[in-house]
């Protein structure tokens, strides 16, 4: 399975030509650590998307071809107090996500008493554009509906 990432310079960028491909999930995961180290503000931070597009298309839901090898879900409303440590969150995620492999990282609005984070999952198949909405609802249901429904669009970008 190839894990493809479309990289955007900032939240205003619509150029879909910056695509990177990874042959294994470990290398793909390393991308997150590398991007996290870049100095940036919210207006200049790079964003990534699991959507791939036809050559020459701009970022828009109508131009998405597929999600390529991975998916991501924002979790904003799961109530877990992490004041003392992250053990409780880890236990909750283990219960919800079971044996699924995932990357978890906090988002900018996360707080110790109300963690907000993103879950990134490897897929065993690409998801064609016409099946993405159904796929998103299915995975959200599988994960006890913890996903933020505002982040289900086909061409969703995510800050690192």
What gap in Å lies between CA 51 and CA 36, rounded to an integer? 20
C-alpha angle 54/59/65, rounded to 5°?
A: 35
Q: How confident is the model at residue 112 (pLDDT cuts 50, 70, 90)?
A: confident
Closest CA to 71 of 49, 54, 93, 52: 49
Closest CA to 92 of 79, 111, 106: 79
* pLDDT for 19 beyond 90: yes
- Phi, psi torsion values for 45, nearest 5 degrees: -70, 140
> Using one digit for the tens of pLDDT, what is the confidence trace for 95-111?
999 889 999 988 878 87
> Using one digit for the tens of pLDDT, what is the confidence trace for 60-104?
999 999 999 999 999 988 887 777 777 888 888 999 998 899 999
What gap in Å lies between CA 103 and CA 26, rounded to an integer? 10
What gap in Å lies between CA 19 and CA 79, rounded to an integer? 35
């Amino acid at each position: 399975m190839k894990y493809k990432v479309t990289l955007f310079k900032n939240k205003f960028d619509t150029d879909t030509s910056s695509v990177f491909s990874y042959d294994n999930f470990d290398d793909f995961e390393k991308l997150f650590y590398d991007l996290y180290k870049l100095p940036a503000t919210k207006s200049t931070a790079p964003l990534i998307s699991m959507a791939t597009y036809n050559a020459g298309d701009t970022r828009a839901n109508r131009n998405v071809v597929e999600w390529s090898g991975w998916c991501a879900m924002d979790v904003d409303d799961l109530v877990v107090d992490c004041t003392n440590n992250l053990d409780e969150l880890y236990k909750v995620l283990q219960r919800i996500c079971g044996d699924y492999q995932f990357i978890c990282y906090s988002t900018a609005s996360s707080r110790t008493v109300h963690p907000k984070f993103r879950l990134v999952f490897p897929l065993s198949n690409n998801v064609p554009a016409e099946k993405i909405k159904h796929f998103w609802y299915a995975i959200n249901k599988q994960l006890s509906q913890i996903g933020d429904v505002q982040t289900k669009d086909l061409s969703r970008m995510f800050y690192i």
